[in-house]
Amino acid sequence: MTLMKLRYYLLSVILGFSACSKSTSDEVGGSGCIEQVAVAPTEHEISAANYTKATSLFQQNNISLTNLRITRFLEDDIVLNGVTNHHVNVSVTQYQNTLPFFTGTIIYAFKNGRLNFTGGEKLTTDISATPTLSLAAVRSLYFDEFRKYSQQGSYLKVEDFLNKCLTAELGYYNYRGVGMPNKTVRAWHILPKGKSYPEAYIADSDGSTIYFFDGVVSAGPK
């Protein structure tokens, strides 16, 4: 290998390792890294045309969009007993202190321009938006849980993800269920960059795993 080729090879390797690293990320183990991501409440997930329709409905019904991010807009005309009614369902994610409630979806159902019913509950918290865990710690905890999950028979291999970059979003996780006290914690939502699974929710206060799922639904027991 000539000196020129050697220099080109070394430069390619260096660029390859640094491609995943950004100023807002921590490098952990080889080329693996983790980046903190954030989605503002004003970054709605619907088209401009549907956003115009949604905001009009909210204004007509005196509903504030402050700290709400629209994630879905569905509309349909339903004929019942010869009468046509126009139905619109708008799903929103709640925010506080610039952070989303990961489990705080509200559905506003409108019928002929008027609010028909609301599904979900308004959430609030006095927990600050300042994280305790570092990004490096979050990445380590994610793979610790991934290894435990793999030992139970996951189809995915943790080794295949160790050198991949992860994304971590900080938010609030509200526990809610039958016989379960209402509790909100600050938490991280972690994913492989550009993927939907394996996903994890990790409590920021103590690093405990709230939820982990590899995206594979099995017919039998794990």
Predicted confidence (pLDDT) per residue in 83-131, tens digit? 999 999 999 999 999 999 999 899 999 999 999 999 999 999 999 999 9
pLDDT at 172 over 90: yes
Out of 33-37, 64-68, 127-131, 150-154, which region has the weakest mean confidence (pLDDT)?
A: 150-154
Position 20 scores a pLDDT of 44
User: How much of the chain exceeds pLDDT 70, in percent?
Assistant: 82
Query: How many angstroms separate the Cα of 29 from the Cα of each of 33, 50, 104, 214?
Result: 8, 44, 34, 22
Contact indicator for 172, 100 with CB cutoff of 8 Å: yes
Position 151 scores a pLDDT of 83
Angle at 99 between CA 95 and CA 104, to 5 degrees: 45
Please tell me the pTM assigned to this model.
0.82
Strands 180-192 and 165-177: antiparallel
Contact indicator for 179, 108 with CB cutoff of 8 Å: no
